[in-house]
Amino acid sequence: MRQRLARTFTQNVIRDEDSVWFRVDGTQDAAPANAVQSARWLMLHDMEPAIHDHVLRVYQAEPLEPSQGSHALGIAYLNHTA
């Protein structure tokens, strides 16, 4: 089951080199504040290492100033899975 969820990210959520789609079906633009929520997928990085690499590129592409707890949590996930 975890492998299928990881595949959903790599096949549907990744939009291009450093962005993601808003929805898991691969549709709707994600605003920067939403795009960084992709770090929540990092719990699956052991199934698919490309998830970590892509989420890191999303964070590097956005000049994010953490203003929400979920932004800080995403940064923590990235540090934990590095």
What pLDDT, in 10s, does the model give residues 36-79? 999 999 999 999 999 999 999 999 998 777 788 888 899 999 99
Tell me the two tokens of residue 40.
Answer: 């929540």
pLDDT of residue 1: 92
Alpha carbon separation from 42 to 26, 32, 37, 38, 64 (Å, rounded):
18, 18, 10, 8, 18
3-state SS, residue 9: helix
